[in-house]
Chain A
Amino acid sequence: MIAELYERCLPMVGISTTEHLDAVESLAAERFAVAAGAQPSDDPHPLFLSSVMGWHAGPDPGELCPDGTTEEFVPGLPLSGVRLMGAGQDLEFHEPVRVGADVTLETTLTDVELKSGRSGDLLLLHLTRRYTADDGTLLTTCLETFIAR
């Protein structure tokens, strides 16, 4: 199944999708900081944008994957039925993200690797996310790897 998924993901490498995230809300950012155990600050927490797993309402509960995740998790990627786990991020902060910033997110699957682990095959999905302000200013770049098995 993982080998099959790898074949289906390969043609997606290099393809970008763009989502409009609307304005960064102060309440959402403050809740994130409290949940993260972070010291309060004027600007949203630097990991706020790249930690949010869904920027829209999402599907009805019945349409979620068996593990509770959503197929929309990575736009356009056929990930239903696999177990996903975040492996970490590599972020560059170009400009501070302010409350009220109108943010657009561009997500690109930059690479996919098929590996054989102790518990069977797994996929490494490498994503690049670019968060930009409405005037085109690049705010944050995030390289993220997910393990799918």
Chain B
Amino acid sequence: MNDPPPLVFEPTTLQLFRFSAATWNSHLIHYDRDYAHTEGYPDVLVQSHLHGCFLMEVVRRWADGRGELRRFSWQNRHFARPGDVLTCSGHIVDTEDDLVSLELEERNQEDQVCATGSAVVALTHNGKDGS
């Protein structure tokens, strides 16, 4: 079984605005650059949960047609801002019966780790034979 293909995300201020709106998140740090400066950041920040969504997307696309997502976790390690190029990758670390465990990582264009994560996918019958 092959590792999931990596995905690249390039968040924009527009995406951050829509994500804040869709989650009713009014934290200024995601849309007010002047406020972000007061906290010592160079720009507005990608939401914690959006980092989680980027990492999860690697697993969701890989698991589509193969199985069901049972567990997922992520930890934020470094901030990201609009214009960053975030590469999300996943590696299969364990397979036991029909459960596949994956480790996940999100790195920016400077190779800094912005988030790490893990996932467990339960293979369905059709997914067991897939590569």
Binding site for B on A (CB under 8 A): 28, 31-32, 34-39, 41, 45-47, 50-55, 58, 64, 67-70, 83-93
Which residues on B sit within 8 Å (CB–CB) of A58?
24, 26
A116 to chain B, nearest CB (A): 18
B81 to chain A, nearest CB (A): 14
Q: Check A83 against B53 for contact (C-beta < 8 Å).
A: no
Known contacts A86-B48, A87-B76, A88-B115; A68/B28 CB under 8 A:
yes
Closest 7 CB pairs of A and B: A86-B48, A88-B75, A90-B73, A51-B49, A36-B53, A68-B28, A35-B18
Q: Check B22 against A39 for contact (C-beta < 8 Å).
A: no
Contact of A87 among B47, B70, B75 (CB under 8 A): B75
Which residues on A sit within 8 Å (CB–CB) of B29?
67-68
Range of interface residues on B (Cβ < 8 Å): 35 or more
Q: Check B76 against A47 for contact (C-beta < 8 Å).
A: no
B113 to chain A, nearest CB (A): 13
A52 to chain B, nearest CB (A): 5
Separation of A53 and B29 alpha carbons in the complex (Å): 14
Which residues on B sit within 8 Å (CB–CB) of A69?
26-27
A5 to chain B, nearest CB (A): 18
Q: Check B19 against A83 for contact (C-beta < 8 Å).
A: no
Q: Check A51 against B27 for contact (C-beta < 8 Å).
A: no
12 contacts across the A-B interface (CB closer than 8 A): A31-B22, A32-B22, A34-B18, A37-B54, A53-B24, A67-B28, A68-B27, A69-B27, A86-B48, A88-B74, A88-B75, A91-B73
Which residues on B sit within 8 Å (CB–CB) of A37?
9, 15, 53-54, 57
A91 to chain B, nearest CB (A): 5
Is the C-beta of B39 less than 8 angstroms from some C-beta in chain A?
A: yes
Known contacts A37-B53, A47-B53; A93/B73 CB under 8 A:
no
